[in-house]
Structure 1
Amino acid sequence: MHSSSHAHPQQQDMTNGAGPVAAVVGGTSNPKLALERDRKRIALRQRNLATWQDGPSPPSGSLDSNMKKNTGFIKRVRQGLGVDAKPQLIKETATLNLDKYVEELTQAIPEGLSKCTLAKDCIAAAEIVTELHARFDPPVFAQPLAVALSSALAPPNKAQLQAMQAEQKEREEANRVSRQKVMLRIAAELALVEVIRARDGSSTQELPGQDWLFHILRDLLSTDREHVNVPILITLLKALGPQLVGRPSEDPEAGEAAHEELILPPATSAKFRKLCETYFTTLSKRIVTEHQRLQEQDRKNHEAYIKSGDIFEDRQQRYEKMTKSFERVNENGKALSELLGVAMPQLTDLGRASDIGLAVNLDSRSTLANDRSDEDFATGKSPWEDEDTKRFYEDIVDLRDMVPASILGSVAATAAAKETTEQPQEEESKVAESQEMEPSQSDEGASKTPVALSPTLTPAKTDAEGAADEQISAGPAAQLSALLARLPEQTNRTMIDSAAVDFAFLNSKAARRRLVKHLTSIPRNRLDLIPYYARLIATLHPHMPDVGKGVLEILDDEFRYLQRKRLAEMGETRAKNARFIAELTKFRVTPLHTIFHCFKVCLDDFSSFNIEILATLLETCGRFLLRIEATTERMRGLLELLRRKRMVSNLDHRNVLLLDNAYYQCNPPEGKAVVAKPRSHLELYVRHLIYDVLTRKTFERVLKMLRKLPWSDEEVLTTLHEVFLRVWRVKYGHVHLLALLLADLQPHHPDFVIAVIDAVIEETRLGMETNLFKHNQRRMAIVLYLGQLYIYRLVNSGIVFDQLWSFVTFGHPNGQPLPGQVCNLDAPDDFFRLRLACTLLDTCGACFNKGSLRKRLDEYLAFLNLYVLSKEQPLPMDIDFMLQDTIEAVRPGWVLKKDWAEAAQAVNDIMAAHRAAQPAAAATATPGGGKKMEAEIEEEAEDDDSSSDDDDASGSESGTRARGGRARRLSGSEHGDGSSTSSSDEEQTDDDGEEATLDDDEVEEDLVIRRSQQSEEDREAEQEFERELAKMMAETNVASNTGGGTNRGVAHHGRGIFDQGLPFIKKAAREESGNESSPATQDGQMRFELLSKRGNKHQAHTLHLPSDSAIAVTTREKQLQELQERRQLKEYVLGYEGREDEEERRELEKSLGRRGFAVRHAK
């Protein structure tokens, strides 16, 4: 047997000229096998019809009621009903007593049917189910099975699909289609053999199973406006196309098989064919529409590329998505066209015409039009505020592209509605009368002109079909109720357009009445729904004019009622009514005479209630009416009348303000468009990098781009200096990234970085000198920037403390803030400097928690307490909370004093301690004092290291601290993906730098003190080295002499005897007398010491030998060599100590780097 999966041979046969049905008959390429299967289907159908009519046949013998065997049978049914399981299942069906398990059996059969994917398995499944059908009564087995299959083949719930995300919806639909393809294939097989039929088992047709299949297929296709069910229909037609829709007339085998008995009567087969061809017609329209839209998008992309030299990513993605969608529906259309034997629609290629048009005049239609529209928006000449608003009110969905024309109404009614929207205003009344034709009349007219109608998804019905439709009439009503319930949630253009399409499929006179009633009952507090409801009405109006007409009638009646009942509590109702009429005016649904009548009524009775209505109308649609050509003059006259009425009327301030706002919003005063400051391309590029592109993820890329700039150009330096200084133009959360950029540029452009830091400090000082309220946000950003510069080690702690002290002293007499003291630059009720101090402390105050910096911060906090008490009390709540949070962050447990005397005493104590420390500070200038200070600083550094270890062990996000993060990022930047950058670019919080306790100020002070003592230490080290070297040379003199070379002449051989060291007493005496131990050359002679021994006593005698003698020359060379060796050995020893110090320093840097510290050594 051949299966239905052989699709490629089928396509090859079709390309050779044979039709699809001729190539594949009944799911196989073997005609004889297909005929044999048809005969088997007819035999099974006769048996099932007998079961429906006469009931089940009694068993031939006793039945086995063993529970194990029965449950095993049900389990095998779940596993599959294919040809392999057929003999065993048929045998057990006749021998097992399954009466108690019928309900479980009907639930298991759909699962087993879903595993039948081949044609032979489907036939086998039909035989197995037929055997089971013959065992049980139809109400017990067949009807529950039909219900289960109907549920499995039901269309998807639209409400649930709309609630899903796009990806989830696409995934869910794909799963449903793949599941229903198999299920509909086998369900059609069971319906053809009459195992299943309508739920109640009754039908006026001779073959009710085929009627059940028709309704299932119609429900799937008629609700599928997006054509996702095309694969389901293709699978069904590939398997059972000849049986359901018959063979195409051009099929060469149609005559040969004409004598065979047909599975379906010709009338039923014609119904199926008409249903499928109608569905194919809608698919063809979609193919043509998507092809046109794809070409239009391609043309727009081409124009955009010519205009700007690039195609934006979103436009490119949209084009690719449209291309995939078109290819999918086009392939489905080709497959369905071949299976039905109908022609594909003709697709016109507009590419050549578009190319010719572009070649003739490249910019005539796109660029100039866009420039003109932009200019209109900027100067106020356009009826719309911007391009998005224009698209919302003018780009209305054409339902004819998505909904069959038969559902929307007759072509004549559609054309009449279209003419209504295009005719001049003076002919509105005549056209409106022609549009008031009842739907029954249009239907009657449609029946008289069948040629002009598009095919319908629901073919001509018999009486039985009409009765069935009457019974399921509650279904559309429930769908309409669900649609109306969802409308308040449709708050964007796409969703409201989708709702319009959904309603079009439910279109009826009663549905339109319900929609009109629902749209006019908007809650008074949901005015935001009115523009979307108006768009829904505008979408339906060309095809269902009674919807717009009904809404306008209700709004007009309500407007007249509100003119009679002038109650204050109905203000919201008046606003809703006026805005609804105005929104429909902008969609060109409200007739112009209606809206101007509303204006006239309000102007004639210029009362407070009508002023509110007039202001709402002007704010909503005044600009539109003033700027469209048909109503410009009339609207100008109305506005002039309004202006005069306002001048002569005695109105309260509220009404005057309402009218002025509405008037100027409708007709703003003429003015030139804001002219952008001319900037060079390079300046625009730099601003784009810093203001738009710079984020944590793009930091490395921005840094590379900045370093590639021509820094030698003065214009580049000026632009960069301006960008790096105006930090208030950067997002507040990205200020730390700007500081990090500056830190990374410092090694390459130190002069530039210094200039920026100087400018930041000057900007901070300038802010305190001017103290302008409009610059407060700028000053906050500058102070935050300064704190981040300290975090990234571009400024030292001295600058930070200078700024902190200036916040509390600058501008005050003698730098002392006092309660009630008036200061022009810092008034008692001005608390902004406290914000600046808190911001700076929040940014980097946590770094000042060890050593001398902790003491300096404690002293500053004491003075800050005094400054706080000098302000007006009590502090504003936000300032009080900010101050408490800052102190809790930098000094947990430290309490602000509430009494001025206590705070002043604390400050006086600190100042007294400083005065007492001045003599001690002077004493540290002596050598002993220097050593003491060095010891203290070293002790503080050790404390810092230990505290850093503790902080690192605490696990409090040490890997994300900025001070250490930069060192790690710089060291790890060569490892690839920028993960180190992301760690250093984490968002800075109020406790930044909490673990960065090794302050650069302490390191610099330590290095300065060490440098001042370096010369003295070097001298002591050299003296110690000389003593140790002399001792070592004396002890190892003999060994070193015997280990010498062998090429030093004859005198060298007696070295062990004659080169013994001189007595140390005599040597010491010569050193004290200033003589050298080595021989001296004097008057061409060299002095030697002759060592003699008499008894146990050594004596030295002085000898003078000529300088050119062999022993003198050899001795001189030896002395020079030894001197050179001493110098080299000294260099080795000192170099060894230097290398050890360098290795210790590197180990310290690595250790601190792992804990998040960056160490910088002063030279």
Structure 2
Amino acid sequence: MTTIMDKRIQLREGNKRAWDGDMDVFQIAEKPDSSLKGNTVFIRRLRMQLKADQEPAILEELHTLSLEKYLGEAINALLEGLLKLKTRGDFSVAVQVTSIMHQRFFHQFTPQFLTVFFQGLESTLTEDRAKRTELAPIRKILCRLCVDLWLVGIITPEYFNKNIPSWIEGTPQAISQAGPPPLVIFRHILGTDLKDFDYADLVLSLAKHFPFLVGGADEEGQAEALGVTEAVPKMAKLVKSYCLHMQKRVKMMAILLGRQRRKFEKHYIQVGRMTTGREDSLNELETQLSTMVSTCTQLSEALGIEMQSLTDCYKEEDTITLDASFDGQPLWDSEDDMLFYTEVPDLADKVSEQVLSGGVDVADAELNDMVEKNKAARQKELLQQAVEKEREKIRANAQKARESRQAAKAPQGKKKSTTDGGESDDSDYVSEEEEEEPVKDMSPKGIQMTEFLERLSQARSKEEIDAMTIEFCHLNNKASLNRLLRHFREFSLHKAFMLPFYARMVATLGPYFPKLRASVIERLFARLRSYTRGNSRRSMERRLASFQFLSELTKFGLVPKHYIFHLLNFMGSRLNYMNLESLSKIFHCCGQFLWRNASTHQDMEELMESMMQRRTKGYLSISEILMVEELLSLVKFRGGAGETTNKRHVVSSTPIQVFLDRLYYIELSTEVAEQVAQLTLKLDWSDEEITCPTLFRIFTETWRVSHGNMAAVAAVLSRIAPSHPVFAQKVIETVLENIRQCLELNSYSLNQIRLSQVEFVSELYNQGLLNHTCILDMLFMIICYDHRRGRPTAGVYCPKDPPDSFFRIRLVLNALVTCQQKLVSDVNSSELEFFIAFFQYYIFTKTRLPMELKIDFRTLFVDLQLEQQLYSTLDGAARGLESALKGKFGERFEEEQKEQQKHKLAVEETKVDTSTVASPVPTPEFVSRKTADDIQAEQDFDREFSEMMKEAGGQGTGSFDRPVPSAKVLTQHISGASLNGAKLFSLKDGNTGPSIMGNKMGFTLLSKRGSKMQGRLVALPANSKMAKSLEQRQREEREQRHKLNSYVMAHADMEEE
């Protein structure tokens, strides 16, 4: 730096002497060379080779050449050469050459040179941004030269004030008082660039190459040595003001970008795609802001100005963060989940950079030899496969031609609509990726990749997946990536438990294999969009598994926010069975994660509100409404530390309450249950105002405890029970009573409470605090509560347990899964088989069971290892229940059944005798006198009825074996019934079949004339085929109903005894 400063001082003194008129500043040869060849070489050197390594040759030529005749060409060549400067040495040589030319040819060179120089600088200050960007390098060079020439004294204030360039605005007096020429020029340039800041690179160059001029470090005193001390404060003020304006502009653009991104997300969530214009404008804004932020940061560091933080306004809005939770709630349910989804290994610490970049870090000669040997064989195999494919295409084209000819001959059928519910089909939404099967890779890496994929499907732990991820990096090539991608896309449905491990592998490889991550997400999202547009149940399992995979990727922060919320909002706006099942899968997997996450909480809140509003619409069935409420409860009312932390801290006021809340809600786990029990036993149990009520609240309000710690709470209570049996008994009785109260209230906001308390009772049974009789009684209570006579019956509606509500089945399944091992070892096989048979019968009293519950029940049935059969129909379940009753109660059950059958026959005989002895008393409403018109009308009706019966019998669609009951029977068994149909919904107990009068059976035929319904009484012979069929069916139904009632009554009597 000292050499440069000394050279500048020396050049400044010589140039000042030249301005004063001294012509002998630079000494030349006594006989200068004026030959054309020498001058032409020098001019070419100025134009093409104005570089540091050419400095001796250029100085020698300046000393020996005359140049007077070629001065104009030399000036133009010098100006052209200045535009090609690059390094600091090049600029030093250019300034030295210009100074020597100024010293030798002052009057002929300097005015002409400076005029053209300022004109060239003006040409770079265009208003067209494209041209401005294109001319940025030239402008940067000229501005730097302007400062350099001012420092060495070529551009002086006196000359500049007399020859002010026309493109600089202002009066001569104001310009002369503004400061030195570079300050005036920079003020004019930067003053017109306070919006786009395209000239920020000029300020950055000024601060980088001349720090002493902008208030930076000046250890050598260059400003004082060069005589520019007065200009330093003005120059520093100008560039700092420009930098602060740039920081404000960057912040405004960051806020604008955040708004544009939110609009982008909302638009994408609504329509599922983004128009090209929106996406291009957003990308352009992102690129512009990124460049401006980088330049502003460098400029702020160079000038020593603190850069404003942009974290609040400039952030990736479309990504889901893993380090921020909403309102201080914990983001994960357990520490294991947090470690699994957040602590992803960095491959750069375990694999070399060359391997990650796709190269090979170890030379394997044997492997290369094998590759060369198999290369010819593989080429031959590929050629054969290509020929076979061509043959297959020819055959397929011929087959299509034959089919088209046959279709042309056949009549055209009606076109089937491919849309559902008026929704327009979308060509972008493909149901499955139509790709050809990959050619089998027989190379060494291909064989290793095959073995790798087989072992990957058998991995069962986080450590194995991490190790296999590192192993894949050594197998990395294009074919391996494609095979791994296909493996992720075509995973086996019976191995859906592997999806979290696959997602972790994608998250680990993502930073170094971005194409793999993007391809997995894009193809999975395309498949799910196609699933949400269709209602086919054939792909239900694949659909739910794909949603589970997307949820796992979401918990790793890989899925853009607008992707997942487009699917959620689309399905939330079209609530049907398929979409509700899909939403249930997503909410089960990542609903709480999206709700607690700060970056997605607002979107989840809006989704919940829209689903709450659609729940009240009239087009949803009861089962769909219940599914919606269950989905809402999964997210908003789920127990655990996240939902109730604030409430617990509000209640906790004393130190002992704070201690117990933290002990049980935060610190408790299965590993420390013994220590927690010991600490609890050390408390003052005589304190009935604080300690005992707090512990009682903790053990009875188990839904506030994390789901994974339910067994730990039960273990602590089992340790406390021997020392405080009264307290333990009170807790158990309260929990059982709470279960019964929840069944009575039947509110879906209490579903989580019901699940947690049933599981808690099952865990208490596992700890030995309850016997199996208590568990079975609880399960029978859950199934039979509020049913008529405590007996669930198919076709009998129960308001608190409708046929399309499956929550009680879920309660029973959760209880059995929790304590199945101990239950199998404690309970007799006959007792357990009886309950399972009864449970199967209860299941068939419901409508079609969801696939998830059906799979859970079958899994439980297999785990129990019972000898009984898994039934598929209601009749089979009824027969199974009957056999279970016989197996449990034996001869006593058969005797009870015979006695009830005898009692039934005796009652029927008594009724028949009474009806035979008693003289019939005609009722007033049927006493009438028939006129000729009535007789004619009856004959007409009989004729029409016989014709209608013949037509019905000739259609062959089935036998008419269920006639409408007669009017007399309707009036006997319908409370308040009238012929006008005023009340028809309050049925009395008794038989609702047609009445038998002598050898005739009465029927009522309903017909409609105009807008009125009319009924006519018809009497058919009792020995007719239709009457006998109806009587036989009714008799069988009565016997079956009575038999089931006797089964349940016999079981209840046995339990009471």
TM-score (normalizing by structure 1): 0.26
